[in-house]
Amino acid sequence: MILLKDGVKYILHEYVSEEELAQMVIEHYKDIFGTNTLYFDPQTMKTQVGIEARNDGIILATDQNRWYILEVELAKHPLHEHIIPQITKFSIAYEEAGTRKKIINTLYNAIRQDAFKTAIIQTQKIEDLHKMLTDLIDIQPTISIIIDQKTPELDYICNRLPFPTQTVEFKTYVRENIGIGVHVHEFQ
């Protein structure tokens, strides 16, 4: 696909890695999830028996009373072999009270140490941050899969995951003969 604006062509950018796509998503997380959301760096969730799952970040949407586990994927990777095992591990880890407590404490400390995050919480008039986080994390998360191109395989996988999911197709177009320095994004 090519986008054309005022005679200038923008060509679909092919992401080199999931990390490249993840950086774009982090840059625009408020556009994707809402203006009153908070992004937290990737975390490793680990069970008492040693099962580990690393997410691509956590998003809190306190004004929506929702939280998201972020998974950034490239459609060219074997989705079935990657997403299902990863989300299954999240599910196993999330079921343990100790894991939820660790998530709550990690988010609590991250908010308290960040003036921007603290200001967002204060504007929402949240008086007891720890209680709000405990109540929110007790609600099952939504897995938000951000991908460069939706595929039928992804829809099939999402219908079989142990958490509610949302998928967001995130595409970037770069200006012809200029590259990533001048770009435009497409997503819902």
Whether the per-residue pLDDT at 38 is higher than 90: the answer is: yes
Residues 30 and 37 sit within 8 Å (Cβ to Cβ): yes
Give the model confidence (pLDDT) of 72-117 as tens digits.
999 888 777 778 888 888 888 888 888 899 999 999 999 999 999 9
| The token pair that represents 33 in the structure block | 């999830």
User: Which residue bears the tokens 């099952």?
Assistant: 140
Token output for 175: 């200006």
Query: Considering Cα of 100, then 101, then 102, then 108, what sign does the dihedral take?
Result: positive
pTM of the model: 0.89
pLDDT band with cut points at 50, 70 and 90 for residue 50? confident
Q: What is the mean pLDDT of residues 140-161?
A: 87
- Taking each helix axis from N to C end, the angle separating 97-112 and 115-123, rounded to the nearest 10 degrees, works out to 100
Average pLDDT over residues 125-141: 93
Percent above pLDDT 90 for the chain? 49
pLDDT band at residue 155 using 50, 70 and 90 as cut-offs: confident
CA-atom Rg of the chain in angstroms = 18
Which two three-digit tokens encode residue 179? Answer: 């590259």
Buried b vs exposed e over 156-175: b needs ≥16 C-beta within 10 Å? ebbeebebebebebbbbbbb
Q: Is there a contact between 86 and 53 (Cβ–Cβ < 8 Å)? A: yes
Give how far Cα 178 sits from Cα of 10, 12, 95, 173, 182, Å.
Answer: 9, 13, 48, 11, 7
- Looking at the DSSP bridge assignments, the partners of residue 46 are 52
Q: How far apart are CA 62 and CA 154, in angstroms?
A: 28
| Span 112-132, average pLDDT | 92
Task: Write down the residue that tokens 């490239």 correspond to.
Answer: 74
CA distance 177 to 163: 43
